[in-house]
Structure 1
Amino acid sequence: MGKRSYDQHCTVARALDVVGERWTLLLVRELLTGPKRFKDLLAGLPGIGTNLLAARLRALEENGILLRGTLPPPAGTGVYELTGLGRSLEPVILGLSRWGSRLVEEEPRERDERRPAWVAMALRSLFEPEADSPPEVYEFRIDGEAFHLRVEGCKVETRQGAAEVPDVVVSGGAGAFLSLSAGRMAPEEALGSGGIRIEGERDGEAAARCLKMLGSAIPTA
């Protein structure tokens, strides 16, 4: 089957020609937290299957959205990572995450998969720091799995795994963090109920800034 196209001389249609296929933007979502091996992507996208994953990766590589790399020694494993063009899709993913937070229930439906990494992306969508924001690292432990956000000015970098020296550590369950991202719960409520906890902070002001951004979601009607 040939490559499908909307055949429209339109910027939106042309973008969707490249990233509009099923699974494609979810692949970009997975790679926004750093390079991944094929088996990592397969595990992070339950239901995709090896053949379809290989096809989507090949198409993204052909369109300059990702490239193949190798992890530094001692791992030396082949990975996929986003190019600059691929990373420029981050605002699109974050916008979809903010929009989708209104549609996702606090607890998954019976047939739904849920991964801490996906919840971390919903949290990332809340962080829009000011240009004069000091450099800080916020670590989140979602159902025991660690992610961290490195903030410096307007720039925010999301990475999987624990931070070396976090300024604040916030832990909690995926449901509580999703309620924050949807605006169904304020950080003060989540802290008061035990849904989230401040487990480590080097700087009380850093914790306050982190909680302020966690509370920036537009309340769900």
Structure 2
Amino acid sequence: MKTRSYNQLCGLAIALDIVGERWTMLIIRELIGGPQRFTDLMVGLPGISTNLLTERLKGLEQQGVIARRTLPPPAASTVYALTSVGQALKPTLLELGNWGSQFVGEADAACQMLHLGSYTLTPQTFFRPALAQGVDKTYALHIGGETQTVRIVAGTIDVWQGEPAHPDMALHAEVPVYLGLLTRQIDPQAALTDGLVCVDGDEAELFRYITLCGMPTDE
């Protein structure tokens, strides 16, 4: 299928020619946290057809945004990963996510809750570097059957799939609760009291994590 083009000599128009098709930016969102198999992408993108996902991946690969790789044995699976060109889109995704967060409260109640990997950018979107100066912490997130590592050091943040060796805190929760904490719809203390979350380590680190990575308040 031929990709439509704006046919304009403009950086923005050219960028939209590459990533402006429906589902494309969400595919990139899924790959921000690390390489994914085709089946992983289907899970993180409910509603997309296999044919359309194949088409979008092919287009992104042709543009050098993603690349296919084969994992070493015993996995030996084919995965899709962002190239340096694709990784360069991360600041754009963060800004778009931050802009879109103001409309989350107006979202249709039928909107689907996603898996943890789809929300890799969420704590990075809300992250406040000014409050994280001098902080050196590693957090393990066990959310909805998946695990991520959040590393905060000297005003920077990184998030990736997998378990850290020595986390300062391990948080256990379901996805709706985790999102509720990040969006300030659920109070951390109430979540602890009501048993909505379980924390391994110092519970004060949960409050620190939400302060640094939760949606900013008006206070």
Smaller-chain TM-score bracket: 0.7 to 0.9
Structure 2 counterpart of 1:143: 144
Verify: 1:17 aligned to 2:3, yes or no: no
Residues 177 and 111 of structure 1: CA distance in aligned 2, closer, same or farther (over 3 Å): closer
Report which stretch shifted further, 187-196 or 65-74: 187-196
For residue 102 of structure 2, give the secondary structure of its aligned residue in structure 1: coil
How far has the Cα of 1:207 moved from its partner? 5.1
Q: CA deviation at 1:63?
A: 1.2
Q: CA separation of 1:108/1:174 partners in 2, compared to 1, >3 Å: closer, same or farther?
A: farther
2:161 maps to which residue?
A: 160
- How far residue 127 of structure 1 moved from its aligned partner, in angstroms, is 2.4
- Tell me which amino acid in the other structure corresponds to 1:175: P
| Distance change >3 Å, CA 188–CA 10, structure 1 → 2 | farther
* Separation of aligned partners in 2, 1:161 and 1:212: 23
Structure 2 vs 1, CA of residues 207 and 175 (structure 1 numbering), >3 Å: closer, same or farther? Answer: closer
Supply the AA of the counterpart residue of 1:139.
A
Following TM superposition, by how much is the alpha carbon of 1:194 offset from its aligned partner in structure 2, in angstroms?
4.5
Map of 2:67 onto structure 1: 67
Residue of structure 2 in register with 1:211 after alignment: 210
Which secondary structure state, in structure 2, belongs to the residue aligned with residue 104 of structure 1? Answer: helix
Q: Helix, strand or coil: the match of 1:101? A: helix
User: Structure 2 vs 1, CA of residues 120 and 177 (structure 1 numbering), >3 Å: closer, same or farther?
Assistant: farther
Contact in 1 for aligned 2:115/2:144 (Cα 8 Å): no
How many equivalent residue pairs? 217
Distance in 2 between residues matched to 1:173 and 1:183, nearest whole Å: 15
Relative to structure 1, the CA distance from residue 80 to residue 89 in structure 2 (aligned partners, 3 Å threshold; closer, same or farther) is same
Return the letter of the residue paired with 1:55: E
Structure 2 residue aligned with 1:100: 100
Provide Cα deviations, 1:147-199, integer angstroms capped at 9, x if missing partner: 221233344322223323212112333333323333445545544554444x1
Which amino acid is 1:16 matched to? L
Give the Å deviation of 1:74: 2.4
Question: Which residue does 1:177 correspond to in 2?
Answer: 178
> Within 1, Cα distance between the matches of 2:70 and 2:32?
17
Q: % of aligned pairs identical?
A: 38
One-letter amino acid of the structure 1 residue matched with residue 13 of structure 2: A
Q: How much does 1:56 deviate? A: 0.7
Alpha-carbon distance between aligned partners in 1 of 2:105 and 2:215, rounded to the nearest angstrom: 19
Q: Is the 8 A contact 2:135 2:155 kept in 1?
A: no
1:5 aligned partner: 5
CA contact (8 A) 1:70 1:79 kept: yes
- Higher mean alpha-carbon deviation, 208-217 vs 107-116, is at 107-116
For the aligned residues, what is the CA RMSD?
2.9
Structure 1 contact 101–181 (Cα < 8 Å) conserved: no
Match of residue 42 from structure 2: 42
Bigger CA drift: 50-59 or 131-140?
A: 131-140
Q: Unaligned stretches of 5+ in structure 2?
A: none
Higher helix residue share: 2
Cα pair 1:35 1:82 within 8 Å, conserved: yes
Structure 1 regions of 5+ residues with no counterpart? none
Contact 1:106 1:178 in 2 (8 A): no
Shift of 1:38: 1.4
The residue correspondences of 1:49-128 to structure 2 (distance < 5 A) are 49-105=49-105, 109-110=109-110, 112-128=112-128
Contact between 2:148 and 2:162, CA under 8 Å: does it hold in 1?
Answer: yes
Find the aligned partners of 1:58 and 1:206 in 2 and give their Cα distance: 42
- Aligned partners of 1:14, 1:155: CA distance in 2, in Å? 31
TM-score of the aligned structures, taking structure 2 as reference length: 0.81
Distance 2:128 2:87 in 1: 17
